[in-house]
Structure 1
């Protein structure tokens, strides 16, 4: 019987599906290649280079970091995993400005002009925003300005004042924006999509359209004008909800954690990655035993005790998954060795396989920040880097100010603003994910299942940090640390305040999902 609704497959749809499947198959190779590029650039001794070469290397490094973020987002999207709403954590404004300057100053020099960054007013220490998103907005504005800059070059002024947002102004001394572009922005910046009927106006091309659309997605504003005296000015305002003033939430740039006294087994077969990781870990004071394949990794575990093992997934003789499975099956004290996968395989199916093999966590390649890398190692090894200890919660309770505020409503609303039209789906997913964590933790605590407690608290740490539940984030960290240390007698007391805050967060998200969005 013929289905009357059936139709022959559209050749264009079939081609698109095949292309997506091919891209998914090449996902690991793409990530691994980018990891080699980013890592290889970091191995260059800049002090030995001439000033001109150093500027170019800094520019390429900044561009490579941006490319790594863009590719990561693209591959996540192809795999059907949401990018919007994914926990990004806080970005340091100073680090981002330094990277932006490194990327564009060399290009300006090549064009016979200059790029200058100027800071004014009281600037926030951090932004609750993806650096890739901000790179795309600012990069398109700066790129457009450099194409039309006169002898005066391009100036980026970053100005902040608590309560008024953060303003990034890009100005050049060129001929100014065409009237059609200014009129379009005045009407809300609705640039036509390519192929959507009508060519883009000169000076108002794809870059400005991308900047305008991304600005709307993060809840900001973008204004273009031709100021008195000539030139062009683009003024980007980031909303207060994305800014973090006050005491530094994260250590200062370059302030790396102390890994002294920590013995680390590093199993990695790639020579570039070996060199990078050995330098990074050694610079933080760790004692490192380096092996190049899975069999050697198991031999090292047999020979001595380690505080933590960092294991690449793709290795000769035995894969990283096989190594972790063998360690967990030992049946002795070393079976509890904290193990973290170092891998370019970061999508959902890969993560599930890695955790099923016995991993305590996953650190994706390339390593974006040595300091964040070090802090992650301390956390997985059960050594908190400046975080509250279990004794703090047991002795002083969940009201200890060191645990932070219960809920940052502004950060939560900023997350919804970034999600844009997908905010309803994000809220539904949050309720489902948090409810799943609650049920899994209840079962794990009752059964004394330490690996499951560690796995679920890792999820809770990521989600609570993204949505602004700072106290829950810290309580989950403390519970995770206690589970790593096998403090079975303390788990119930530590879980009680964590569970209460988790229930409150689920209720908070459900209430927000039931309310209409503010105008």
Structure 2
């Protein structure tokens, strides 16, 4: 029907246009007969010939009268001017032949005008040439006339053909219009019948829709643009408490919107009516508050849509009472928060218990170490050795629990670095061989395929994984064989994968235990009379460590035959790490140090003091951080050991106070004594100004390494040499300890502080030297902490010069810092590639 209506309209429009065209063409044909267009063209040639004739007669007369010739010339000139200027001949002038002829004749007229308008004697003298030129142009005049006549004759024929075509099209359009009108009348009759059927169908559909709405569990409320309620289903009566008859015609805001939101609702309706802005309509489900008939508020979920009707725009609101769901969500949130608080409490408890257990355990193990150095009988030595083994085992269990907590908190990160896999496996076999031999078993290792010595991985985690797997294999294998196999494979994309397999010929694992073997506190034998011990945490930690490396661990076992654990993780082959001799020299250059020991635990203080004094060092003790700060301010110590958790003032605050002051030991190396082994805590210690840390329980070897490492650090007396930008071993140790990302952040932080320092003190004043010295000291501590030795030494040199008032030296050294730091960063970037 729409198509036919369009056709009727199009035909009507076409007939109107064609009628206008016919009228225009007829008018043009009629006007063409009355115009003098063709006459003017022929008359132009006649006027030219008459001019030529009068010129010839004048030349033949003894008493010539030039007035007649001049009159004919003017008439011909006027005729040509009409042909050149009149709009009637505009299209004709664009014809090549006519335009060329007209131009030629115009040129003749322009050449002749000076003589025609001049004196008779000059005209008489030029007359022969004018006649000759006119004779030559006579064909041009004829061509001008004929081309014009031909053009207008052709144009008349074209107009007659156009009129005939227009009349034909008009006849076709009238025919189409007649056909369309007949067809349309037939179609309208058919559509009328269909509409009557559709009305019946629509009425039935409306009845079904009303039934669905009235049986819906959601409230359905229909309003007009002013907010008046037009429809209101049964669910709305149940939810809001208003009967349908009462609700119809009421304003929606007054009916179900709580009073505190009513102004906002009214403003929103007004805004929508005024500007058409809609913030809720068509936006899906939104949560709001509704009001019942008794005035109580409750949460509802609203979906609002609009529709256009014959009476205007209407809005359909679907509302659901979500009170029960909100209550359930609140209970769920409370349960979640309670679980998070419980998890946090567990983590805090483990961290606290770790410290509390490690502190007395440190005293126990340290005292046992001191006791072993005394004269003991064979039985006493056995007792002491057994006690130490039990203490070390307890310490390992504590470390396992902390590793699990760290992993579950998402903070167990891989600290990648170059590792000699062969050396690592040799060390593990060497350390575990005696335990295997005690069970009558052999322990061996080897490569599958070509050996790959140096790979990138986390040495500590790999070592922990293998020690747990090998330890398990030894415990469950008697008079058998245990082997470690290593392999590095490469896939099609070039990705390297390291494979480690620990196989044994032991008792094997029952099939029903294989799915649970990596769960915490699961052991192969849970009975009280089991042959082997253990907490059941080892394999759980293995799985966590392997996943932290981005790998996976699998197990295959057969009861009575043996077990094989397979570990695979991504890696890459790296160049061999060559150990510099700088660190070796440190080990040989230790000297007796003047040490401040800040430790609140009497036993730990006693053990550490005894170990340090036994190594030949002079030790001053302090029971808390406040006393330590006072001693450090009054006396210049070579090295300060600082416990972290202490009363009055903890170790971190004490360190910050020492570094911020200008005491005698403000530049001394400070080493943290801590039972907290979490990496993020280690980073915090370094940011506080500490240079290193020792994890409890303390051992003589660990203390000796620290004293050897920092015992060579002496006060800067002369300008340092620029040949030791970054300490290689310190760089590696620091990166392994806090991770590559945190290590990089430390460098970036020092870089920012150094740039600010240089910018602030480019041209220092003499009275600003004390503050400059403090700033240089602070940044020197951070630079030393990250291993940037050259920059640290230069900053200490600047500090010393500033304290001595040597302004030119300070200015020169500060100007050199950017170049030194640039080379330091280049070396840092090279070490991280």
Shorter chain as denominator, the TM-score bin is 0.5 to 0.7
Which residue is equivalent to 1:34?
Answer: 358
Question: Contact (CA 8 Å) 2:499, 2:568: kept in 1 or not?
Answer: yes
Conserved? CA contact 2:641–2:670, under 8 Å: yes
1:305 aligns with 2:633: no
Where do 1:62-77 residues align within 5 Å? Answer: 62-74=392-404, 76=406
DSSP 3-state at the match of 1:8: helix
- CA RMSD for the aligned pairs? 5.8
Match of 1:465 in 2: none
Question: Post-superposition shift, 1:435?
Answer: 4.1
Equivalent of 1:131 in 442, 454, 460: 460
Contact 1:101–1:116, Cα closer than 8 Å, also in 2: no
Question: 1:331–1:245: structure 2 CA closer, same or farther, 3 Å change rule?
Answer: closer
Task: State the shift of 1:298 in Å.
Answer: 4.9
Aligned to 2:248: none
Deviation at 1:366, TM superposition (A): 1.1
**Does residue 1:151 correspond to 2:506, yes or no?**
no
SS in structure 2 opposite 1:311? Answer: strand
Is this contact kept in 1: 2:642–2:651, CA < 8 A?
Answer: yes
Matches within 5 A, 1:257-268: 259-268=590-599
Q: Structure 1 residues 430 and 275, CA, compared in 2 at 3 Å: closer, same or farther?
A: closer
Q: Give the structure 2 partner of residue 480 of structure 1.
A: 792
Which of 460, 471, 475 is residue 142 of structure 1 equivalent to? 471
1:97 and 2:423 are equivalent in the alignment: no
Are positions 1:363 and 2:676 aligned together?
Answer: no
Aligned residue for 2:825, secondary structure, equals helix
1:60 offset after TM fit, Å?
3.2
The answer as to whether partners of 2:669 and 2:690 remain within 8 angstroms in 1 is yes
Q: SS where residue 330 of structure 2 aligns?
A: coil
Compared with structure 1, are the counterparts of its residues 496 and 314 closer, same or farther at alpha carbon in structure 2 (3 Å cutoff)? same
Aligned to 1:443: 756
Q: Is the 8 A contact 1:145 1:170 kept in 2?
A: no
1:174 aligned to which of 506, 520, 523: 506
Task: Give yes or no for contact 2:418–2:457 (8 Å, CA) kept in 1.
Answer: yes
- Give the match for residue 209 of structure 2: none
Query: Distance between the aligned counterparts of 1:377 and 1:439, measured in 2?
Result: 31
Aligned 8 A contact 1:69 1:132 in 2: no
Deviates more, 1:8-17 or 1:92-101: 92-101
Confirm or deny that 1:499 pairs with 2:822.
yes
Contact kept? 1:89, 1:128, Cα under 8 Å:
yes
Distance in structure 1 (CA, Å) of the matches to 2:485 and 2:383: 27
- Counterparts of 2:504 and 2:679, CA distance in 1: 45
Where structure 1 has 5 or more consecutive residues not aligned to the other structure, the ranges are 185-189, 420-425, 462-472, 513-519
What's the secondary structure of 1:260's corresponding residue? coil
- C-alpha displacement at 1:281, in angstroms? 2.7
1:7-406 equivalence runs, <5 A: 7-10=329-332, 11-26=334-349, 27-44=351-368, 45-46=371-372, 48=376, 50=379, 56-57=386-387, 59-74=389-404, 76=406, 82-85=411-414, 93=424, 97=428, 101=432, 105=435, 113-114=439-440, 117-118=443-444, 129-132=458-461, 134-144=463-473, 146-147=475-476, 149-152=477-480, 155=482, 170-176=502-508, 211=542, 214-215=545-546, 217-218=548-549, 231-234=562-565, 241=572, 247-248=578-579, 259-294=590-625, 296-298=627-629, 300-301=631-632, 304-316=635-647, 318-320=649-651, 323-324=654-655, 327=658, 331-344=662-675, 359-361=689-691, 363-366=693-696, 371=701, 373-376=703-706, 383=713, 391=720, 394=722
Query: Which of the pair has more CA radius of gyration?
Result: 2
Offset of residue 130 of structure 1: 4.6
2 CA distance for matches of 1:265 and 1:117? 46
The 1:377/1:101 distance shift into structure 2, 3 A limit, reads same
| CA distance in 2: counterparts of 1:347 and 1:176, whole angstroms | 35
Cα distance, 1:371 vs structure 2: 4.9
On the 8 A contact 2:642/2:670 being kept in 1, the answer is yes
Number of corresponding residues: 449
**Contact 2:418 / 2:454 at 8 angstroms: preserved in 1?**
no
Query: Residues of 1 paired with 2:359 and 2:418: CA distance?
Result: 21
RCO higher in structure (CA 8 A, sep ≥6): 1
Distance 1:326 1:237, change over 3 A: closer
1:300 and 1:495 map into 2 onto residues whose CA distance is 36
Cα offsets for 1:361-381 (capped at 9, x unmatched): 352531566555545456667
- CA 1:432–1:129 in structure 2 vs 1: closer, same or farther (change >3 Å)? closer
Q: Which structure is higher in helix share? A: 2
TM-score, structure 2 as length reference: 0.42
Give the deviation of 1:13 after TM superposition: 2.1
Residue aligning to 2:200: none
C-alpha displacement at 1:143, in angstroms? 1.5
What's the TM-score once normalised by structure 1's chain length?
0.62
- What residue is the counterpart of 1:454 in the other structure? 780
SS of 1:43 mapped into structure 2:
helix
SS in 2 for 1:84: coil
The answer as to whether partners of 1:172 and 1:231 remain within 8 angstroms in 2 is yes
Equivalent residues of 2:556, 2:565 under 8 A apart: yes
TM-fit CA distance, 1:240 = 7.4
